[in-house]
Structures are given as structure tokens and as C-alpha cells.
Amino acid sequence: MGRIARSPRKRPALPRRMMLAAAALVLGGGGLAAVNVYASASEGGPPGVGGSGHDMAQMRMVSTIDCPDVGNSLTTVPPTVKPVVDRGLADLDTQITDAYTKFADNKDRIQRDPRLADTMVLDPLKARRTESIGQIADATGQPGLKNRGLAACTMRAADDPPNAAGQDSGGQDGGGQDSSTAGDSGADGSAAGDSAAGDSGTGQGVDAARSGSGPLSSGPSRNDFVDIRTVRPDAAAPAPRRTASTGSFTSDCGRNQNGKRNPDNVIVAPGVSNGAHHMHDYVGNQATNAFSSDADLAGGATSCRNQGDKSTYYWPVVRVLNQGNDTDARADGGGKDRNVGKIQTPVQATIKFVGSPVSKVTAMPRFLRIITGDAKAFTNGNANANASWSCTGFENRQLKDKYPLCPQGSKVVRTFMFQSCWDGRNTDSANHRTHVAFTDKRGACPAGFTAIPQLVQRIVYDVPAKAGAFAVDSFPEQLHKPVTDHGDFIDVFSDQLMGKVVNCINTGRSCA
């Protein structure tokens, strides 16, 4: 991944940063007032509020809630209890959203009395999570889930590292991408900046998004943006071997001109309305929502030119934050979940399947589900993050944890490179990750996995080149951080068309 050129400016020493935090109330993580909260100074205590006593001598600026991801900890889910587990995991997401809203709505009170963070937010959240985790543990026959500390959450500053307690990467390597793009950065990958406002301030576009009677935005910060011209080019990819499959297949499915969107997630939260708590763009299958069965998808219409491709392709919408709010300003997934601003229809969306640099590929199984990236990477950490942001004309410089500021005449590009190795058995897995895998740095699949066509999506936007002027939708507590970007795919190719895809790729042809 590209790296940002090292800045000669240094971050202030910790005492100075604390003084700055105490001296001024700034916007934390964007859109929400940061809270000066007294963190535990006891050895081994978490870097925020919750779980131990408060030391009045040390203050932190808290802007979000950090909870262990229970879904990543699941190893098996029997089919008979999957609806119970899916509902339980969706309930956990809703509980975090509710707690974050409680924090945001009471930020001034919590600032005056930091102990309220426990009594008003974290303690009630832990009680609800304990019950839900217990139900999931009992249903799956994994009683150990109750004893892994998954119920307790903390509050953290936007520039603190995530609380890794109970996290499980699910065996993914993030595609071998570099976990940091910054040359001289803080824990969140932010480039150097001296002031408290620089550490956790909001971009100017966010302020505009907060105007009127609509709900507050919760991000992003100025430090989430970087001029693409300051980013170092990525290392060149290894040359393909003689055994490589060098062809490609492109499916023209439009760019969601018809505005098919919803805040559901049929892969992670099937049967649950607003399971994503953020809005998705859809191309391909037009029958996709939280309640779609495989049969529904097979019988659905498609926006793809080749009607043999009824696959579902979806990703979080991008919004411009300084042009007012969209029609979902008071709806689930939109303003109710603190996703505000004008939704942008991509100016281009390319869906391409490519081969392996070391081998031939085999057909995907119908209804294979793949998620690339992690919608909760800001709190989970980078283990499953796979965001890739760039600008037209600069696509040899890819960013994982920054939004690009593109020069005049250049547009923002999101690229999703999906996992290209399949375990040969399962179309999904308990954590929606371990049935597929990324290749290693040589391009080879792990032992026991076989190469399949790799889905590569390239989505282009014409958005303002201004820090804070645009952001991707996210769970509220994820603060619209670019590292949380992700894409979802369900294969609903006809057998005949999938055969053509594989043949084109393996014979080195470019097909559509």
C-alpha cells in the first residue's frame, strides 16, 4: 500500500496534548463534541473509560465506543440455530448503536462528570450484551463465549488503538496489505498534527452537514484525508508465472442509476431490517434485501447487461457532507444512524473477474458469499480491513486508512479486491470469512484452498477535494473512518455463464 511522506512536524508530548484537551472543547472524531474523560492510570487498565477506576490526573478525549466483535469469535453455527444467532448478532449491533446515541445525546453531561460514561452508557450496554452473548453461546454450544470478556466495552479516543480484547481475525491476512499508510503517525494512522483540533477535529464539510434540524454526523476528521500527491507509489506486483491465468471477464451491471439502496445486510444479518445501520448501493440482483433467500435471488431481475449474471454486488454509499441531507435524513440507515449528507451515485462502476498469478482458476459455487474488508475495522483493528482508496491518474498509490484528496481533474476511486481462494466445500461460514481466503504475497492460495475468479470492483466518484467534504456510510460508532470500507458479493451466475468466465480467464482472453 502507498505510504504518506514522512512529515517534519512532530506530535506534541503527552502532557501538552492533555493540556490542549482540557483547554478547549473540540469536535471529536467529527460531528460530536469530544469529551474530556479521566482514564484509568492503573497498570494494565484499558485506554479509556470503563472497567476500572478513574484517575483525575490524566484526561483522554473520548469520541466513540469500542466493543469486541462477537461475530468474529464464532467458529461453528449449526444451521438449525442460525436464525437465532443472526438475530443475536444484529441485536448486539443495535445495542452499540443505542449506546453510542446515548453518549452523543449526553456528551455535555458526561464532559462535566466523566463517571456518567459508566453509569449511563457502558454499564447498561454490558448488561444487554451479556444477555445476548449468553443466548448465542447456548444456541451454538460454545459456552466459552461467556467467559472471553466479550460483553465489556470501553470508550476511546479517535486516535487510540482499538481494544483488542476478545478479537479474532478469522484467519484472514487482509490480502497482505500494509496496516498503516502513514510515515509518522499516531495509532490511528493520522499524519502529524499539533493541536487538539488537529487530532480529533472535524472537517469543514461536516459542520455544513450539521446545519438545519437534521441529526448530527459523527465524522470524519480532517486527519482522515490526505493529498494523494504526497503518497508514495505502491510496490510493483510480482510478475505472473507461466502457469498463471491471465484472462478476465467484465460484467456491465451499471452504477445504480435507479437508486436501489437499503440499510440491510443479507449476508451478515439475514432476516433483520436495518441490519447494517448504514445505507448500501446495489447493482446486479434487484431482489436483494434482508429477507432474500437463494431462491428469491435466483428468480430476481438483474441490472447486469448479461442476464446470466444475477449476482448481488453491494457496498456502503458515499455522501457529500456540505450540500444538505438526503431523503433518508430521518430514516433507518440514514439520519437515524447518523449517516447524513447527499448520497452520490458513482460516475463509473466496473465489475471484473480476474485470474491467479500462479495457477488456473475453478468455478465459484453458486450462492457463494464473500465479504471483503471490515465494517468495524476502526474498533476491530486492521486484521480484516481491505479498504483501498485512490484517485484517477494516481491508482499506483492506494490508501487503506485515509480518504484521498485528488487534484483538479482527478476523481476519487474505491477499489475492492475480493478474496480469491475457496475452501472447496462451503458457500459461507460462521464468521462469513473462513470459507474464503486471500492469497499470499506470491499469489498462491493457502493449503486446502483452491483459486477461483477474483472479483475486482472499481467505483469512481466526482466529489469535492476538501478535507471533511465526503465520507463513506458506517455504523455510528465507526465514525465514518475510511478503513471501515467494505464490499459484499453473492454469486448468482448461471452455470453456463460461470463456465464462460472460467474459460476466458484460464485461456488468457478478455471477455464481457
What pLDDT digit, counting tens, does each position of 20-74 carry?
A: 333 333 333 443 333 333 333 223 334 344 443 443 333 356 789 999 999 999 9
The pLDDT tens digits for 439-488 are 999 999 999 999 999 999 999 999 999 999 999 999 999 999 999 999 99
CB-CB contact of 275 with 264 (8 Å): yes
* Residue 465 in domain: yes
Note whether 187 and 230 are same-domain residues: no
Phi–psi pair at 487, nearest 5 degrees: -135, 150
Strand partners, 28: 32
* Residue 356 in domain: yes
* Residue 389 in domain: yes
pLDDT band at 211 (very low <50, low <70, confident <90, very high): very low
Strand partners, 461: 412
Note whether 111 and 248 are same-domain residues: no
Kindly give, in sequence order, each residue whose CB lies less than 8 Å from that of residue 457, ignoring residues fewer than 6 positions away.
Answer: 313, 315, 349, 350, 351, 352, 414, 415, 416, 418, 487
pLDDT band at 2 (very low <50, low <70, confident <90, very high): low
Note whether 191 and 241 are same-domain residues: no
416/464 Cα distance (integer angstroms):
22
Note whether 27 and 174 are same-domain residues: yes
Note whether 196 and 230 are same-domain residues: no
Note whether 417 and 495 are same-domain residues: yes
What pLDDT was estimated at residue 163? 63
- In the chain, the number of structural domains is 2
Range of the structural domain that residue 165 is part of? 14-200
Note whether 123 and 237 are same-domain residues: no
Note whether 178 and 290 are same-domain residues: no
* Residue 209 in domain: no
